Amino acid sequence: MAERSERGVALLVVLLAVALLTVAVLEFTYRSQVEYRRTVAWTRVRQARLVAESGVAVAAEMLARAPLLYSMQQGGEEKEADGLTELWAQRCEPEGPSVCPANVGRGCRLDTFDAHRLAIRIRDETGFYNLNRLARGGRSERERFARLLAGLGISPQLIDTISEWTNRGARGLSVSLPSGLVRRGKTLSYPVRAGPLASFGELGLLPNVSAADLIELGRLATVLDPSVDEINVNTAPLELLASLHEDLDDPTVLAQLQQARCTKPLVDAQALRAALGATRALPFESLLGYRSEYFRVEATAEVDGFYHSVTALLRRPYPAEGAPANRTEWEVRLVYYLPQRGPLIDPKMMEEAVALDEIAGTASPAGGAF
């Protein structure tokens, strides 16, 4: 009996040891799988970010090579203006009622040839209303901005809100954060800017500004250096142009402008008058420009179901007076760079890919635009 008892105990010990080893192996296997999946996910996210960053590089190359591409499109003419007929706009301008009907390939969907997908959008920021105009503008500027707000369905109270926020006389003052955050019984506050806006996102700190207002305002407005006080008539949304001056708020005038700028960018006030059939100076000429220096780039990359995006503001100054003509490449500078996880561009837009050399071939029959 004692021998059988010892054998039974030994069997139980063995079974217990096997069970413990099984649990340990399962735990080790589970942890290994979790770590492996975490590593794969981290790698895919990192790859997606690198692909998105490459999208900014592609956009910068498009803008840098603009004088060469423009010359090829216009039969050797030197680039003097920016418009919606250029490669960056034909391929990367966000869709909307103001884009030229002949433009194709919305969203710059690119095939990176390695199961990765990339989409790019380029927006000419000089073709939008610079909110920093209010920081030094008078009554006429406030009235102009009020017409813009009315068209967007936003309360005109926003004019006073922005003016108070940027007024240098408000230095030292502070306002409560819109979210009403409270810490230790006190509502958190934020000092007013007391100067030009630094970014469009800063508007989210202003009191009585809703997310819906920001979305609507973002369709037609931007934040640039206060010195940028002209709006590029070649790229501005027609809705924005209509709000700048009562003489522009005319369907016939807007249709004439759209037809002219979709044929070839207007280069100066004389070309603008010719497009509108005018023989004298127009009352809104001083509000409009024909060149663009600032471009916002949004790039979204997808790698095996993982998305990463990048937003960047690029500046491409025109050559200084007296610089050599017929330059084939202009300098492009990075103003800011903001990476974020997730898609900025609708993933549905990325379903149909376009080869990068196909995009280059669109503007250059000989190929090799980049």
As a whole number of Å, the CA-based R_g of the chain is: 28
- The reply to whether 227 falls in a domain is no
Domain at 204, CATH number: 1.10.40
Helix, strand, coil % in the chain, rounded to nearest 5: 45, 15, 40
- Contacts of range 248-252, beta carbons closer than 8 Å, 24 or more positions apart: 248/284
Residue 241: what pLDDT? 94
Judgement on whether residues 159 and 171 belong to the same structural domain of the protein:
yes
**Range with lowest mean pLDDT among 104-108, 174-178, 320-324, 355-359:** 355-359
**Which pTM was predicted?**
0.81
C-beta atoms surrounding 291 within 10 Å: 17
- The reply to whether 111 falls in a domain is yes
pLDDT at 360 over 50: no
- The reply to whether 28 falls in a domain is no
Q: Is 224 exposed, middle or buried (0-12, 13-18, 19+ CB in 10 A)?
A: buried
- Domain end position, chosen among 198, 219, 240: 219
- The reply to whether 12 falls in a domain is no
- The reply to whether 124 falls in a domain is yes
Reported confidence tier of residue 314, pLDDT bands at 50, 70, 90 = very high
- Full domain range(s) for residue 136: 129-219
- Domain end position, chosen among 219, 251, 277: 219
The pLDDT tens digits of the residues spanning 290-313 come to 999 999 999 999 888 889 999 999
- The reply to whether 340 falls in a domain is yes
> Residue 309's beta-bridge partner residues?
300, 340
Reported confidence tier of residue 195, pLDDT bands at 50, 70, 90 = confident
Q: Which amino acid is at 319?
A: P
Max distance between CA atoms of the chain, in angstroms, equals: 122
Task: Please give the Cα distance from 312 to 336 (Å, whole number).
Answer: 6
Residue 355: what pLDDT? 45
The pLDDT tens digits of the residues spanning 217-252 come to 999 999 999 889 899 999 999 999 999 999 999 999
Judgement on whether residues 149 and 104 belong to the same structural domain of the protein:
no
- Domain end position, chosen among 219, 235, 257: 219
* pLDDT mean over 309-320: 91
Judgement on whether residues 88 and 120 belong to the same structural domain of the protein:
yes
- The reply to whether 24 falls in a domain is no
Task: Please give the Cα distance from 49 to 21 (Å, whole number).
Answer: 42
Tokens of residue 316, six digits: 């491409």
**Range with lowest mean pLDDT among 1-5, 141-145, 257-261, 269-273:** 1-5
pLDDT at 265 over 60: yes
Reported confidence tier of residue 350, pLDDT bands at 50, 70, 90 = low
- What is the domain count for the chain? 2
Judgement on whether residues 113 and 173 belong to the same structural domain of the protein:
no
- The reply to whether 3 falls in a domain is no
pLDDT at 1 over 60: no
- Contact yes or no for 182/250 (Cβ under 8 A): no
